[in-house]
Amino acid sequence: MTRIHLDSLTKRFGPQVAVDDVTIDIPSGAFTVLLGPSGCGKTTTLRMLAGLEDATSGTIRFDERVVVDGDRGVTVPAARRGLGMVFQSYALWPHMTARQNVAWPLQVNGWSRSAREDRVAEVLRSLEIEELADRTPAEMSGGQQQRVAIARTIAPGPDVVLFDEPLSNLDARLRVETRAELGRLHRESGATSVYVTHDQVEALALATHIAVMKDGRLEQFGTPQELLERPATEFVAAFLGSPPAVLLPGRPESGSLTFGGVPIAPLPAGADVRSAMYRPEELAIDADGTIEFDVVECTPSAGRHLVTGFAGPGDVRRDRLTVVSTTRVEPGSSTRLRLPPRPEAYFDADGNRVEVREGVSLEA
């Protein structure tokens, strides 16, 4: 198992900064997901890990071995990094059978014929695709091709495995099935894995650690539980979770944070607070509530309803938000929201979490 350390990693394409001073310490054996919207820099980061892109500056270390030093122009070739990679496009040899595709990297690495045959059989069996052994990619479905691609990657037993949105071409059912297989394979192999996706449900299902990225920069790195319970920025709070946290922008007035002229939360003394965060299940739909709420959608989910709409009067900034309700609310209707006495967290004008220490008074 390999520990991966990215230190001030930066990648520029001309004047454009794709990855901006990213530092992450990935524990050995972790399944780390690089998560963020399109254009956030996650795929470029993965490609630098793989040796498919050179870094402009910063370093990458596998344990104590430097594989990238952008400042000194040092780049260890991809073939010498001891890693495997699963691509979004499968990238199987079209003229080879599944058995031959999986055996190819073993042959390149000098495995004997008998050792290759035993290992190929073992890997195909572990992924439950033995029946595909003599089929070519043209004779397989997309899900089957992706399983063969995964088998080919893990067959040599790499210490590091990289995944570039490997499930994005699969339908919903196959995504869930293949995701479960990936989780099982990681637990069995113990390889340090780095996985790129924009799907936060996928990230939460697979990850031991998540690196949330935005505009080329790292917003927060930690376990899924840490990020959900203590988001460091507004972006993380709004991006992660199903449904994500509710953020209400506000203005400090007379010791309270006000939203549309309505006081919604007491202010921590001396803090520059500009928004408050609530859990979706903490907000109640109540005709006597303090915040106006225009309902757009109402979706059944696990015995409850996810109610999406716009909060506040029409003359304030109104972002879509989702609350959890025990009863159905008619789309297109107008109602009100009742807030808890205090929010789960506060954020400042830059979108960073405001730490409120125990015992610090709130303004009256």
pLDDT tens profile 131-148:
999 999 999 988 899 889
170-224 pLDDT per residue, tens: 888 888 888 888 898 899 888 999 999 999 999 999 999 999 999 999 999 999 9
- pLDDT at position 133 is 95
This prediction's pTM: 0.89
Region 311-326: what's the mean pLDDT? Answer: 84
Q: Say if 359 falls within a structural domain.
A: no
| pLDDT tier at 363, thresholds 50, 70, 90 | very low
Q: What is the pLDDT of residues 225-265, one digit of tens each?
A: 999 999 999 999 999 998 999 999 999 998 899 998 899 99
Of 198, 218, 236, which marks where a domain is finished? 236
Could you give the number of structural domains in the chain? 2
Contacts for 323-329: CB closer than 8 Å, 24+ residues apart = 323/243, 323/246, 323/280, 323/281, 323/283, 323/284, 323/285, 324/243, 324/280, 324/281, 325/284, 325/285, 325/298, 327/285, 328/298, 328/300, 329/285, 329/295, 329/298, 329/305
Q: What is the pLDDT of residues 274-312, one digit of tens each?
A: 999 999 999 999 999 999 999 999 999 988 999 999 998
Give the pLDDT band of residue 358 (cuts 50, 70, 90).
low
Mean of per-residue pLDDT scores for the chain: 92
Identify the pLDDT of residue 13.
96
CA-to-CA dists, residue 89 to 31, 129, 146, 166, 283, angstroms: 21, 19, 8, 8, 42
Is 59 part of any domain? yes
How would DSSP label each residue in 209-223? Answer: EEEEEETTEEEEEE-
Q: Residue 197: phi, psi to the nearest 5?
A: -160, 160
CB 106 within 8 A of CB 116: yes
Of 209, 236, 263, which residue sits at a domain end? 236
**Do both 110 and 159 map to the same domain?**
yes
Average the pLDDT over 15-23 and give the result: 97
CB 200 within 8 A of CB 231: no
Q: Is residue 203 part of a domain?
A: yes
> Residue 357 — pLDDT band, cuts 50, 70, 90?
low
Tokens describing residue 277 = 């965060």
Residues 213 and 311 in one domain: no
Query: What residues have CB less than 8 Å from 113, skipping those under 6 apart?
Result: none
Range from 57-66, 67-76, 163-172 carrying the lowest mean pLDDT: 163-172
Cβ atoms of 116 and 103 within 8 Å: the answer is: yes
The CATH number given to whatever domain includes residue 74 is 3.40.50.300
DSSP string, 272-286: ---EEEE-GGG-EE-
- Domain end among 215, 236, 257: 236
What tokens does 301 get? Answer: 């989910």
Cis peptide before 331 (omega within 30 of 0): no
Q: Is residue 364 part of a domain?
A: no
256 and 340 together in one domain = yes
Asked whether 209 and 201 are in contact (CB, 8 A), the reply is no
Residue 308 inside a domain? The answer is: yes
Residue 182 gets which letter from DSSP? Answer: H
Give the pLDDT confidence score for residue 223 in this predicted structure.
97
- Residue 168 vs residue 210, higher pLDDT: 210
Q: At what angle do helices 142-154 and 172-189 cross, to 10 degrees?
A: 10
Domain ranges, residue 49: 4-236
Residue 185 is assigned to a structural domain of this protein: yes
Give the pLDDT band (50/70/90) at residue 359.
Answer: very low
SS3 92: coil
